[in-house]
Structure 1
Amino acid sequence: MTLPRTFGIAIIGAMLSIALSAVAMAASITVGGKDFTEQFLVAEMTKQLLESKGYTVEKKDNMGTNIVRAALEGGEVDLYWEYTGTSLVTFNKVTEQLSPEQTYARVKELDGAKGLVWLAPSNANNTYALAIRKNNPKTDGMTTLSDLAKAYNDGKEVLMGTTAEFPKREDGLIGLQKAYGFKAGRANVRPMEIGLVYPALANGDIDVATVGATDGRIAAMDLVLLKDDRGFFPNYALAPVVRKETLDAHPDLKETLESLSTKLDDATMQRLNGQVDVEKKSVEEVARNYLKQAGLI
């Protein structure tokens, strides 16, 4: 009786081991991310949050917008956080002006047809903005993007520092010039890495800079954001986007990811971004502290 029983226990143990291994393999998730602070943060928060739920997570961030989107569509990553305006204009070529609610509904529909699921968006709207520093004779008195357009049309040499992507995007400089009726001119545009834009503005190397509205350095540097008085820039609500096949295999991802997305807003992201960019804390530390404070881990 002892031998068969031992043998049976061994068989059951082996079967459980195989089953647990299969579950572990099935619970492996690859999280993508772009190449700037806010994206480093949400990718790291997602990694830590999912790991707390038992997932094995590989993080692939520091990618350009088009690269991470292609990685999502191609199955190299299972999810990443995208901005509604980016999907609307860059990936789906929709240029009509829509409300925030319409923008989300449209990208949810269009990307859904491609096998990508938009989960509940955050209240963080990292829309493009153009910032100027105070006490600069070239930009003093400017309060709107129409003022900036007039300066270019009057032939003034206002140097614009941008990210590498901004001059090439329809929701960036290309569309902005059409909407406001101006040409900055190649000599006045300085594409650079996002980390160099703020020092360049502070040092007077440029006069106006393209920034993200949730960047913590805006308040820290006491910058002035020019009002988008013609409402050109679309809403850029930050939200997790997941491959449908991944969500079908792990339906619990929806509740887990939305527990984070629904807590994020402009003030929160400005604070977290500032902790990294201004206070020089590590992304891992800032992400961990926020998740603990929010009661998510």
Structure 2
Amino acid sequence: MRSVRAGSLALLVVALLAGCGLVSSSGTFHDATLPGGEKPLDGAELVVTSKSFTEGVLLGKITATYLAAAGAKVTDLTGAPGSASSRQAQLNGDADILWEYTGTGWVNYHNETEIIADPQELWQRVHDIELRENSLEWLPPSNFNDTYAFAASGPTAERLGVKSLSDVAALPVGDRTFCVDDEFFSRSDGFLPMLAKYGIPYNEPNGVPAANVTRMDAGVVYPATAKSAPCNFGMVYTTDGRVKNLSLTVLDDDKKFFLPYSGTAVVREPVITEYPVLRTLLGTLSERLTDQLMQDLNGRVDIDGEDPSDVAYDWLKSENLVE
């Protein structure tokens, strides 16, 4: 659930696309074939792009490897610089397939503010807007949701007896300590509105005093939360590999404040019209992707230092999707 920043990033993206063109992070993926040697995409030429963070690159590599195994000639443009450049490439017709997030489509691309808690309803709303306005088909969402959440270390969650954000709201003021990054603190769908949703007034003695909130780089939030210092609760992404690696306990958003950010394969309408088998192939990938799996795959890259191309290929083989 990595959102697009506006302003200077948008200008940078335009410069990148107009100047030197969209480039790949590595442009490489493993050669493979489908079991039985079938080639339902024989003759197809497809361009797969992705956002530049780990999960985006992994999804791009999985897709590129699998579709090439199905017979397509795939150009790998995974790891496009900045979140917006891959999106712009698809809008321009320079890229055909990109994994996106329903919450990103709703909030960042279409500036919607309505909170839609049901993942299927949110997907349908985004699907309809994107098909109508941009000729992009958002395929049915996968089973993973890379949204915002709050987590605590296992011992802290057990000591405080918390399983949900409502449980946090019921704690004594001194135990309501949070670590968040600057973007999340200031987002219209971020920290302060979340506190309001759960009836915890910010910067008030009976709520969350400003001194109880530590703002830091997003990457530092995870170890700080694991150590319960300087905070009991830290903002995390639900599919981040560090959640599992650091044995963090993700708290239930029981009042459904955070939007679903379901991972979704997006294909240009002319391409999927020409190659409708893409719906089946990408659906085969999508139905296997869960929060737990994405934590594992992301962790192999971010924590174990493995190459995304290797991780993608190994997973496809483990699922008997390629040989």
TM-score under structure 2 length normalisation: 0.70
Query: Structure 2 CA distance, aligned partners of 1:155 and 1:90?
Result: 35
1:236 and 2:261 matched: yes
5+ residue gaps, structure 2, are 1-41, 203-207
The change in CA–CA distance for 1:62 and 1:150 in structure 2 (over 3 A counts) is farther
| 1:130-149 paired onto structure 2 within 5 Å | 130-135=150-155, 140-149=160-169
1:131-210 → structure 2 map (5 Å cutoff): 131-135=151-155, 140-149=160-169, 154=173, 158-162=177-181, 165-173=183-191, 175-181=193-199, 182-183=201-202, 188-193=213-218, 195-203=219-227, 204-210=229-235
- Counterpart of 2:280 (choices 230, 255, 258) is 255
Q: Do the aligned partners of residues 166 and 132 (structure 1) sit closer, same or farther apart at CA in structure 2, a change above 3 Å counting? A: same
* Number of aligned positions between the proteins: 269
Deviation at 1:149, TM superposition (A): 4.8
CA, structure 1 residues 136+255, in 2 after alignment: closer, same or farther (shift >3 Å)? closer
Q: 1:156 to 1:201 in 2, by over 3 A?
A: closer
The alpha-carbon deviation at position 232 of structure 1 amounts to 0.9
Gaps of 5+ in 1: 1-22
Opposite residue 66 of structure 2, the aligned amino acid is L
1:69 shift after superposition:
3.2
Please state if 1:109 is matched with 2:141: no
On the 8 A contact 2:169/2:198 being kept in 1, the answer is yes
**1:69 — aligned with what?**
87
What do the CA deviations read for 1:75-122 (whole angstroms, capped 9, x no partner)? 343221112223233333141334222112111111111221111221
- 1:242 offset after TM fit, Å? 1.6
The residue that corresponds to 1:42 in the other structure is 59
Q: Deviations over 1:105-148 (max 9, x none)?
A: 111111111221111221112232111124559x9444332344
Distance 1:67 1:108 in 2: 20
Change (3 A) 1:251 1:224: same
Structure 1 residues 86, 277: CA separation in 2 closer, same or farther (over 3 Å shift)? same
What secondary structure does 1:57 align onto?
Answer: strand
- Supply the AA of the counterpart residue of 1:126: D
Tell me the secondary structure at the aligned position of residue 288 of structure 2: coil
d(CA) in 1 for partners of 2:272, 2:216: 38
Residue in 2 that maps onto 1:55: 73
Residue identity over aligned pairs, in percent, reads 32
Contact kept? 2:297, 2:311, Cα under 8 Å? yes
Match of 1:61, SS state, is coil
Q: Does 1:96 align with 2:115?
A: yes
Q: Does the 8 A contact of 1:119 with 1:240 survive in 2?
A: yes
Tell me the SS of whatever aligns to 1:233: coil
Q: Are 1:216 and 2:241 an aligned pair?
A: yes
Partners of 2:108 and 2:192 in 1: CA distance: 12
Residue 145 of structure 2, aligned match among 115, 120, 125: 125
> Which letter does structure 2 place at the counterpart of 1:48?
T
- CA–CA distance in structure 2, aligned partners of residues 60 and 131 of structure 1: 30
Q: Would you say the 8 A contact 2:50–2:56 is kept in 1? A: no
Bigger Rg over Cα: 1
Q: Secondary structure at the match of 1:97?
A: coil
Equivalent pair of 2:149/2:238 in contact (CA under 8 Å): yes
1: CA distance between counterparts of 2:266 and 2:192?
Answer: 26
Map of 1:18 onto structure 2: none
- Which piece of structure 1 moves more, 281-290 or 260-269? 260-269
Tell me the C-alpha RMSD between the 2 structures: 3.2
Q: CA deviation at 1:191?
A: 4.4
TM-score (norm 1): 0.76
Equivalent-residue separation in structure 2 for 1:68 and 1:185 (angstroms)? 40
User: Greater CA deviation, 101-110 or 49-58?
Assistant: 49-58
Q: Which is worse superposed, 39-48 or 264-273?
A: 264-273
Residues 40 and 61 in structure 1, CA contact (< 8 A), matched pair in contact too: yes
CA distance, structure 2, for counterparts of residue 149 and residue 101 of structure 1: 29
